[in-house]
């Protein structure tokens, strides 16, 4: 009878643990920023499949349809859902193609900058000594630079180009990853599993890649999500100043710049790209903040 009671008790404990786990998952899903996730999914879909869903050619001009308002205003039509610009180009189509440009720049920059920053953080945090001193002084130098001013200066020197923008933002963006991830490496390398790996004779490269790196991935994901919004703002700012993606490619920043002269009689030219930038950047920041809380063990009980 005692064995049956112990078995029943173990079964009840297992069932309660599963129910608590499911309850925590449901709570986390309810607290997830679903609006932000949906906005970012729409952004990704437009970036990946924009060619197939654009209602018009975003580069085609039509001077008989210039400055058409959105469909709900007088003079608007469903053919040009969000209106047209001063050259008769469809605003909605240009926004969709602009999403592709922003997505390419954003994801390439956060990937390359993340890889470079992670490598610097692993070398600096684990090796320590003179390697740490040199790499961190270089990192501090980049962090001390006025981000936008240096980007403008480099873009003016290199010229407006999507590839140049990617290069500039990678050069300026890796230091933030390196500084934050180095602290994580310093914390993780003091763990018992790292000491056991050293005793077992593992090489430094193996320890950094197989034992330390997997334990800093959560922080890396959060940083990358937050950096996406910063990269989009930087790309849009440079395009707004004429130093980003060159025309006639419809970058969101250059669309805002095109609408400045018509802001009083054709507000929709600059309003829609500005609104899209706001929504995407805000969604990326909210998602990154939620991931920071969910992936941090100190906050998981929340």
- Residues 209-246: tens digit of each pLDDT: 888 998 899 889 989 998 999 999 999 999 998 888 88
| Gyration radius of the chain's alpha carbons | 25
Phi (first) and psi of residue 80, to 5 degrees? -115, 85
pLDDT band, very low/low/confident/very high, at 302 (cuts 50, 70, 90): very low
What sign does the CA torsion over 255, 261, 262, 264 have? positive
The full DSSP string for 234-259 is HHHHHHHTTSSSPTTS--HHHHHHHT
Q: Which residues contact 244 (CB under 8 A, 6 or more apart)?
A: 155, 160, 162, 165, 235, 236, 237, 238, 251, 253, 254
pLDDT band, very low/low/confident/very high, at 34 (cuts 50, 70, 90): confident
Predicted confidence (pLDDT) at residue 299 exceeds the cutoff of 70: no
Q: For the chain, which residues make up each domain, given as ranges?
A: 34-52+79-299
Reading the block at residue 227, the tokens are 């950096």
| More confident site: 12 or 174 | 174
Q: Within a 10 A sphere around the Cβ of 65, how many other Cβ atoms? A: 18
pTM for this one? Answer: 0.83
* Residue 11: predicted pLDDT: 55
The full DSSP string for 251-302 is -HHHHHHHTGGGTTT-THHHHHHHHHHHHHHHHHHHHHHHHHHHH-GGGTT-
pLDDT band, very low/low/confident/very high, at 199 (cuts 50, 70, 90): confident
Fold for 34-52+79-299, please state it: MetI-like fold (1.10.3720)
Reading the block at residue 221, the tokens are 């994901």
Predicted confidence (pLDDT) at residue 20 exceeds the cutoff of 80: no
pLDDT in tens, 71-109: 888 888 888 889 898 888 999 999 999 999 998 999 999
Report d(CA 223, CA 67) in Å as an integer. Answer: 41
Reading the block at residue 192, the tokens are 């018992």
Decide if 90 contacts 71 (C-beta within 8 A): no
The full DSSP string for 177-238 is HHHHHHHHHHHHTTSHHHHHHHHTT--HHHIIIIIIGGGTHHHHHHHHHHHHHHHHHHHHHH
């Amino acid at each position: 009878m005692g064995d049956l009671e112990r078995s029943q008790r173990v079964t009840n404990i297992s069932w309660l643990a599963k129910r608590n786990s499911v309850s925590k998952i449901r709570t986390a899903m309810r607290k997830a920023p679903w609006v932000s996730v949906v906005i970012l999914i729409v952004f990704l879909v437009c970036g990946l499949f924009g060619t197939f869903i654009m209602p018009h050619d975003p580069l085609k001009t039509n001077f008989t349809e210039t400055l058409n308002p959105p469909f709900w205003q007088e003079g608007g039509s469903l053919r040009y859902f969000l209106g047209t610009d001063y050259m008769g180009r469809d605003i909605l189509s240009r926004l969709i193609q602009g999403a592709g440009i922003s997505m390419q720049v954003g994801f390439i920059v956060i990937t390359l900058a993340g890889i470079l920053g992670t490598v610097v953080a692993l070398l600096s945090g684990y090796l320590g000594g003179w390697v740490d001193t040199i790499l961190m002084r270089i990192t501090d130098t980049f962090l001390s630079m006025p981000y936008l001013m240096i980007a403008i200066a480099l873009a003016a020197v290199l010229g407006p180009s999507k590839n140049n923008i990617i290069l500039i933002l990678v050069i300026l963006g890796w230091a933030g990853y390196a500084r934050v991830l180095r602290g994580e490496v310093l914390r993780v390398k003091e763990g018992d599993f790292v000491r056991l790996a050293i005793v077992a004779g593992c090489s430094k490269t193996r320890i950094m890649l197989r034992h330390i790196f997997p334990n800093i991935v959560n922080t890396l994901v959060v940083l990358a999500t937050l950096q996406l919004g910063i990269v989009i703002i930087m790309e849009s700012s440079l395009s707004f100043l004429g130093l980003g993606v060159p025309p006639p490619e419809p970058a969101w920043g250059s669309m805002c710049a095109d609408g400045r002269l018509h802001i009083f009689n054709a507000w929709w030219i600059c309003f829609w790209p500005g609104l899209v930038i706001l929504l995407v950047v805000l969604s990326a920041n909210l998602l990154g903040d939620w991931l920071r809380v969910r992936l941090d063990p100190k906050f998981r009980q929340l």
